[in-house]
Amino acid sequence: MNKQEIQIKIAKAVEIVKESKPLAGSITNSVTINFVANAQLAVGGTAAMVYLPDEGETLAKLGGAMYINVGTLLPIYEDTLPHTAKVLFENQKPWVLDPVAIGIGSLRTKVLEQFKPYKPSVIRGNASEIIALAGLWNLEGGTDTSTVHGVDSTVSVRTAKSAAVALASWTGGAVAVSGEMDLITDGSTVAVSYGGSEMMTAITGSGCSLGGVMAVYASVADPFIAALSGASVYNLAGMRAEQHTDGTGSFQIAFIDELYKASAQDISMNEFTLEEV
């Protein structure tokens, strides 16, 4: 695919979402659950958040895609998460994994290990998280020890390129590494998306909600286009929101407004470059 073909696909994905309001259910952390739902709604999707194993299964079967984020685990997730991932995989439903804060506890490690055979369609994380997940799954570019600082990355996006490519080659889907710019790969093509705002690092949940929005797009587009569409609307909305706010509280509100206002045409035209793996 050349750049223009990709731009056409992004615009189409954004339009179909706005017209059809696809459901992308979530099992996500309690810190940013509201932000995730509001971002999904702002781009035109439908949100539903659950915790219990049977409800994860129901949403997996009902929705166009699903979002799973391991940010704040509770004992129930030991049952809910692997079960839901298995149902998604067996029903060939796209799902997005956010391996937040990988490495900080034993349940988190266990659950993330269990996800490997269920091949998430999109893996979205910051650079430290992507490198650590590749390490946990014994793939190239990964490391045994996590460089995650709480929920934040300590390394640059480009450092995670080989881990991202290896993860995408394993899943057959896409991997999106977020940061100052965003790197998205399907294992053969690498796209780098530009824009955003430094203020996105000073509000919680810009990454979580980005994963939720990618799940909305994954309901109607292939994983690479879904991930790049998500990165594009985030980078565009971040740039625009920064222009008329002077603090992080109002930035978060303005950012949701800009997600809501962004047109398919503008999102598809947000700057990105293509490179070989």
Q: Which of 156, 204, 245, 248 binds ligand ATP (CB under 6 A)?
A: 204
| Phi, psi (degrees; rounded to nearest 5) at 149 | -105, 95
> Considering beta carbons, is residue 206 or 270 the nearer one to ligand Cc1ncsc1CCO?
206
Q: Name the one range near Mg ion by CB under 5 A: 4-12, 202-210, 226-234, 241-249.
A: 202-210
b vs e for 12-39, b when ≥16 Cβ sit within 10 Å of the residue's Cβ? Answer: bbbbbbeeeebbbbbbbbebbbebbbbb
Helix H, strand E, coil C: the string for 136-159 is HCCCCCCCCCCCCECCECCCCHHH
Closest distance to ligand Cc1ncsc1CCO from the beta carbon of 151 (Å): 4
205 labelled ligand-binding: yes
Please give the biggest Cα pair distance in the chain: 47
Q: Two tokens at 16?
A: 């179909």
Q: How many CB atoms lie within 10 A of CB 256?
A: 19
Site string (126-165) toward ligand ATP, x via CB under 6 A: x------------------------xxx------------
Q: Any idea what DSSP says for residue 7?
A: H
Q: Two tokens at 117?
A: 């055979």
Q: Two tokens at 263?
A: 């047109």
b vs e for 146-182, b when ≥16 Cβ sit within 10 Å of the residue's Cβ? Answer: bbbeebebebebebbbbbbbbbbbbbebbbbbbbebb
User: Which among 210, 201, 214, 29 has a CA at the least distance from the CA of 108?
Assistant: 29
Q: Is 205 in the site for Mg ion (CB under 5 A)?
A: no
Distances in Å between the alpha carbon of 213 and those of 36, 226, 232, 260? 8, 9, 11, 12
Q: Which of 17, 238, 258, 262 binds ligand ATP (CB under 6 A)?
A: 238
Report the partner that residue 238 touches, choosing among ligand ATP, ligand Cc1ncsc1CCO, Mg ion, none (CB closer than 5 to 8 A by kind): ligand ATP
CB closest to ligand Cc1ncsc1CCO, residue no: 71
121 labelled ligand-binding: no
Q: Which of 25, 205, 212, 223 binds ligand ATP (CB under 6 A)?
A: 205
214 labelled ligand-binding: no
User: Which among 21, 24, 45, 32 has a CA at the least distance from the CA of 207?
Assistant: 32
Report the partner that residue 29 touches, choosing among Mg ion, ligand Cc1ncsc1CCO, ligand ATP, none (CB closer than 5 to 8 A by kind): ligand Cc1ncsc1CCO
Q: Which of residues 47-76 bind ligand Cc1ncsc1CCO (CB under 6 A)?
A: 71-72
> Considering beta carbons, is residue 100 or 136 the nearer one to Mg ion?
100
Q: Which of 25, 82, 196, 223 binds ligand ATP (CB under 6 A)?
A: 196
205 neighbors 30 (Cβ within 8 angstroms): no
> Considering beta carbons, is residue 126 or 185 the nearer one to ligand Cc1ncsc1CCO?
126
Would you tell me which residues interact with ligand Cc1ncsc1CCO (CB under 6 A)?
Answer: 29, 31-32, 71-72, 100, 151, 204-205, 207-208
Q: List, as residue ranges, the binding site for substrate.
A: 49, 205
Binding region for ATP: 124, 178
What are the residues binding ligand ATP (CB under 6 A)? 100, 126, 151-153, 178-180, 182, 196-198, 200-201, 204-208, 210, 234-235, 238
